[in-house]
Structure 1
Amino acid sequence: MLKKTVVIVTALVLHILVANAQKNELITNIEGRKTISLNGKWQYIVDPYETGFYDYRFKERSENDNDAFWNSDVPKNKYDHKEYGYSDKNTLKVPGDWNSQDPKFLYYEGTLWYKKTFDYKKDKTSNRVFLYFGAVNYKTDVYLNGKKLGQHIGGFTPFNFEIPDALIKTKGNYLVVKVDNKRGAEEIPTLNTDWWNYGGITRDVKLVELPANFITGYSLQLTKLLPGDNKIQGNIKLDNNNASQVQVEIPELKLKQNFPVNGSMASIDFTAANLQYWSPKTPKLYRVILTAGNDRIEDKIGFRTIEAKGDQLLLNGKRLFMRGISIHEEIPQQGRRAYSRADALQLLGWAKELNCNMVRLAHYPHDESMTRMADSLGMLVWSEIPVYWTVNFGNEEVLEKAKQQLTEMIMRDQNRASIIIWSVGNETPISETRTNFMHTLLQTAKDLDPSRLASAALEVSYKAQGKNLNMIDDPLGKYVDMVAFNEYLGWYLGTPDSCQTANWATIYNKPLFISETGAEAQGGFISTGNAMWSEDYQAWYYKEQIAMLKRMPDNFTGISPWILADFRSPRRNNPTYQQGWNTKGLIDRNGRKKKSFFLLKEYYGEMEKMYP
């Protein structure tokens, strides 16, 4: 009887521990932690009917169900009936999308089960172990040794679960991840997008070992430029705190200060003399060391200010003009989701070659390697959540999903100096319900991080107040820090020479930014008559756009044309010129630069001389 009671109590404790693991707060700066990579080959099962999750009555299987795909696929005896199994015959690379790894998955939207076995022994018995995912698209259920660790919804932001000591084994841990990338009307993004719905474990998977009490996250920002002294403020958040103080050290500045902990938070406020500001010209990063009890973490942080003052943008107190380009998280030559430092270097390297000082990371948070690489290269960043076109703005649950993704994006990257704009969406149709929804997101971004701009790509009233005056009067403009808008004059409206008499204005006394413009061109298609879909038509488009930009109003603060490179999209079905690709890229699917690349590069070179 005693043995049975012990088993019941142990099972109850394990259930409580697993339930608590599902509530873990996001751990930031994984690069600065002790980690073990679980990347590599994972076995998989394709499960379009979700047989491994639901029984034949379409009810969710119980935890110990013999046919649940999260349990061991090894038969207990020769009479154990198993209708599923993981095998090395079926493997996928992690990180990576499944669509590009096997032709049969190109258009697949549904459920795959991933399995990985691993051994693990903690360095110290009192330490805690977390399972960290950089991103999984879209809905993820995670199981370890038959027990559910938790669920995450959202395809582009990180999440982690704590692994209870009673669950992890030194040998033969059995990790199963259910990934479902089906689009949904009540999801973020919703059913209708203009990019490929890459499914899978698309970013790094790591085990993270931490002290019993550790730093979960922190924010350090330059908040004021003062003669001789610069004010740096922020906070450090602790988990399961037993530390009375935290220490901040910046060796290069000979700075080391202690700050008291109040509850689980320490407020940071100090001045730093002789600080070199981060900027695209001088992307200075300082080694910062944070210590709380037995936990010590390092990061490389740049310090700069960004503000919208009247109708101008100021970086470190000086006027800023953004020579930008929009980027999708894809490697066109391989038609796949980007995920690595090498991928980030390729994409941002192209942007640098274009004479850019800014990138719009569309239309979702990109891999952390992109924002860290942008810090190092001196590239300003617009980072965005996938509130794209028409989500269900009247649904409170949809709003909460958007807020969750916004929070996870900001928490992960709040110490990246390169990021100057948090964007809460793109081309959302005007209505009071939508404006309230978006206003809530903008306010959430400002509450989480008041040190940066908050914006969105707004709607345009073409020829609203006169024959050739295009007005940005979207009601959401009242709440953004910078009025950004997408325009395709000469592609979706008229021909490129329409730009010759077009003028732009906004009713708001704020900086004005063109967040998209572009025309499609099949790489290598040359037409002396400027035929549509040719590189020559696209070049004509950019020539007329550039001439128009040169007479923009004084509050014009930059542009991020659409887009750096061609990318996959199921919406693009012209059998001759698209074939499942959006071809608005300045670089084609083979990595070859189109004529427009060099036109924009020349214009940006001129603007760099005007606004160094």
Structure 2
Amino acid sequence: MEIIKNFVDNIHNEAYKDLYLSPVIDAGTYVFLGGRREESLDGSWNFSVDMYDNCLRAKWFLEEKTNLEGQMVPLDYGFDDWEQIPVPAVWNLVKPEYFYYEGPAVYSRRFLFDRKVDGHVFLRFGAISYEARFFLNGIFLGVHRGGSTPFCVEVTTHLKEENRLIVIADNTRRQDQVPSENTDWFLYGGIYRSVSLFCVPDIYIKDMKVHLKDWEKKRVCVSMSLGGTSRFKGGEAVFSIPELNLEESVFVGSDGNAEMVFEVDSLSLWNLDSPKLYDVELTYRLHGTILDQVKDRIGFRSLKTKGNEILLNGKTVFLRGVCLHEESEEHGKAVTKEDIRQAFSKAREMNCNFIRLAHYPHTEWVSQLADEEGFLLWEEIPVYWWIDFANEKTLVDAKNQLTELITRDYNRASVIIWSVGNENPDTDERYHFMRELAQTARACDDSRLISAACLVDAVNLRIADRLEEHLDVIGFNEYYGWYDPDYEKLITILEESKPDKPVVISEFGADGYISTSQSGNQVRGSEEEQKEIYEKQVELFKKTSYIQGTVPWILFDYRTPKRLGVYQKGYNIKGLVSADRKREKPAFSVMKNFYEEVIIDEQTD
């Protein structure tokens, strides 16, 4: 083998990332956090864009200031001298120079850790866009892919009293990622959800899943698993609901897993009018000694389909919905609880009981607040438009994002639908890919409904998709009156389709710009035209009995680089409310009145 005498690794080695492909941080590393004490690492971090990926190429994370001969070498970085930006936040809104930046960027912060730990210490990231690599005190901890789901990485053996944490966040669009290169939303970058440290004992509760198995008999199912089981010695799991003076226990198997099913006669069910939540506890103990305990706040409700109906606690429910992106003008994708409450308030004002969280997992705050306020949620992963359906690596990525989402939100009563894709072409590769996702969702959680926002059969004009046999609810995206102005097609589709499952109109709508032309004529995409399209759509929905929900696109106008028309100016303006969330468009009232009619009809049935 030829030895290249003038080879300089950080200049000539284009396979530099091969050193950082594993370990992969995925759903298998996730630890249930409920009730545990966290040490926040939010705040000011040192930051720099790194468009040539030099932190990896030149191994800046090692902070080597001398060469092999012990001589001082020049440095091309200065972690502690870089500018400081907030975490959580998106870098795009920190200053104008970063607005459209896509690529690697380096975050660094120092922190102290002076406690002696008899167990395990984990770092938890709420989300990083999109691919992230982590270094603690110069040690590579792993790589995580997927820009919207939380993950945990153990750092026990690498902690010192004084520590440096480096995160390389890379939101480069790639063909084999989920989503792929082409989307219709703004690609924000950065560590945009919270970062924390937490400690668990040597043997700890890794996961707790709770759901109502039978609403009539009020039968509850609790499953759990242990982590750190290399020294597992048996023991029991005890589940309790203090408010009901309930306590149930089960022996934990040799594999560290356990499940218990029991009836709770006094249980009040979670529903839209009375979103009852209970504080619950799960304790793991050995010989009477408590080794670990986790807590959660949970609502108990049942969800099924019957023919074309969706049943919540045995009663038919019509999903009075709206779509929502994770974005505010001030915070971008790093939305606050106040942003979420504001969105909920506006949806409630429109008489909504249902929100489709498009097109990726939103912050866990959304489902927690929806539990409290009595909203139903559709949650999805960004298998959006075209992705590399034939690529096994892409499928692994999608499955992991779906599993991480389900693991995070399994206990949320508000979440009723897992969606595995949006507007994907009906190819053989796509069918096999999304069938695998549907099966993954079913294996992870058989207590909820599975859907996908599908395209119509535009040739035969009917609702048809091979994926339907693997779904519980058919999502139907249609823009008749807008992208296709011919309403007759929609009339034919709705009349000719004979689905044996509930159908949710998961998207419809049109641009809504507050203007007319100088001649006084209505411009294409005006708010007046948007209102007319909504009125015609609603009249058709009223006549179609198998439609069990409608979800207009979208609640608020939002940023997207795909929309550069004279009226759009970098925004998708299909919102029923302006991007600043202050002005309702006329179509807002159309949906508000329609949903009010639905409520009256339900009350008189």
Length-normalised TM-score, structure 2: 0.90
For residues 258-290 of structure 1, give each alpha carbon's deviation from its aligned partner in whole angstroms, at most 9, with x where no partner exists. 111112111121111121111111111111011
Matched, 1:141 2:133: yes
Taking a change above 3 Å as real, the CA distance of residues 136 and 410 of structure 1, as seen in their structure-2 partners, is same
Matched, 1:458 2:454: yes
Which AA in structure 2 matches 1:202? Y
Matched, 1:175 2:165: yes
Taking a change above 3 Å as real, the CA distance of residues 78 and 505 of structure 1, as seen in their structure-2 partners, is farther
For residues 5-60 of structure 1, give each alpha carbon's deviation from its aligned partner in whole angstroms, at most 9, with x where no partner exists. xxxxxxxxxxxxx9889578343543521101111111112111112212xxxxxx
Taking a change above 3 Å as real, the CA distance of residues 269 and 366 of structure 1, as seen in their structure-2 partners, is same
Conserved 8 A contact 2:26-2:151: no
Q: Any residues of structure 2 matched to 1:470-549 within 5 Å, and which?
A: 470-494=461-485, 503-523=494-514, 529-549=521-541
For residues 463-510 of structure 1, give each alpha carbon's deviation from its aligned partner in whole angstroms, at most 9, with x where no partner exists. 72xxxxx41111111211011110001000116798678735534311
Structure 2 equivalent of residue 246 of structure 1: 237
| Alignment partners' CA distance in 1, 2:362 and 2:584 | 23
Conserved 8 A contact 1:45-1:85: no
| Alignment partners' CA distance in 1, 2:264 and 2:138 | 52
Q: Any residues of structure 2 matched to 1:546-585 within 5 Å, and which?
A: 546-552=538-544, 554-574=545-565, 576-585=566-575
Matched, 1:352 2:348: yes
Structure 1 equivalent of residue 198 of structure 2: 208
| Alignment partners' CA distance in 2, 1:91 and 1:599 | 46
Q: Any residues of structure 2 matched to 1:160-559 within 5 Å, and which?
A: 160-165=152-157, 167-170=158-161, 172-226=162-216, 229-241=217-229, 242=232, 243-262=234-253, 263-293=255-285, 294-331=291-328, 333-334=329-330, 336-462=332-458, 464=460, 470-494=461-485, 503-523=494-514, 529-552=521-544, 554-559=545-550
Conserved 8 A contact 2:516-2:523: no
Taking a change above 3 Å as real, the CA distance of residues 505 and 413 of structure 1, as seen in their structure-2 partners, is farther
| Alignment partners' CA distance in 2, 1:21 and 1:302 | 34
Conserved 8 A contact 1:526-1:535: no
| Alignment partners' CA distance in 2, 1:116 and 1:524 | 48
Alignment partner of 2:129: what SS? coil
Structure 1 equivalent of residue 5 of structure 2: none
Conserved 8 A contact 2:123-2:153: yes
| Alignment partners' CA distance in 2, 1:493 and 1:106 | 33
- The Cα shift of 1:362 comes to 0.5
Structure 1 equivalent of residue 75 of structure 2: 82
Taking a change above 3 Å as real, the CA distance of residues 508 and 449 of structure 1, as seen in their structure-2 partners, is same
Structure 2 equivalent of residue 588 of structure 1: 578
Which AA in structure 2 matches 1:454? I
Number of residue equivalences: 570
For residues 328-362 of structure 1, give each alpha carbon's deviation from its aligned partner in whole angstroms, at most 9, with x where no partner exists. 0001x326114332222122222112111000000
Structure 2 equivalent of residue 64 of structure 1: none
| Alignment partners' CA distance in 1, 2:56 and 2:187 | 22
Q: 2:56 aligns with which of 41, 53, 58?
A: 53
Q: Percent identity?
A: 38
Which AA in structure 1 matches 2:79? Y
Taking a change above 3 Å as real, the CA distance of residues 285 and 608 of structure 1, as seen in their structure-2 partners, is same
Alignment partner of 1:545: what SS? helix
Q: Which runs of 5+ in 1 are unaligned?
A: 1-17, 55-66, 465-469
| Alignment partners' CA distance in 2, 1:359 and 1:88 | 44
Taking a change above 3 Å as real, the CA distance of residues 23 and 474 of structure 1, as seen in their structure-2 partners, is closer
* RMSD, matched Cα: 2.2
Conserved 8 A contact 1:158-1:408: yes
Taking a change above 3 Å as real, the CA distance of residues 215 and 534 of structure 1, as seen in their structure-2 partners, is same
Conserved 8 A contact 2:146-2:401: yes
| Alignment partners' CA distance in 2, 1:207 and 1:593 | 42
- The Cα shift of 1:542 comes to 1.0
Structure 2 equivalent of residue 102 of structure 1: 95
Taking a change above 3 Å as real, the CA distance of residues 489 and 21 of structure 1, as seen in their structure-2 partners, is closer
Conserved 8 A contact 2:560-2:570: yes
For residues 119-170 of structure 1, give each alpha carbon's deviation from its aligned partner in whole angstroms, at most 9, with x where no partner exists. 1133x530321000010010000000000111101101111110133x2112
Conserved 8 A contact 2:505-2:549: yes
Structure 1 equivalent of residue 37 of structure 2: 34
Conserved 8 A contact 1:245-1:292: yes
| Alignment partners' CA distance in 1, 2:383 and 2:453 | 11
| Alignment partners' CA distance in 2, 1:373 and 1:330 | 17
For residues 201-247 of structure 1, give each alpha carbon's deviation from its aligned partner in whole angstroms, at most 9, with x where no partner exists. 01110101111111111111101123xx4111131111123341100
Q: 1:131 aligns with which of 120, 123, 135?
A: 123
| Alignment partners' CA distance in 2, 1:364 and 1:109 | 18
Alignment partner of 1:189: what SS? coil
| Alignment partners' CA distance in 1, 2:455 and 2:491 | 21
Conserved 8 A contact 2:383-2:422: yes
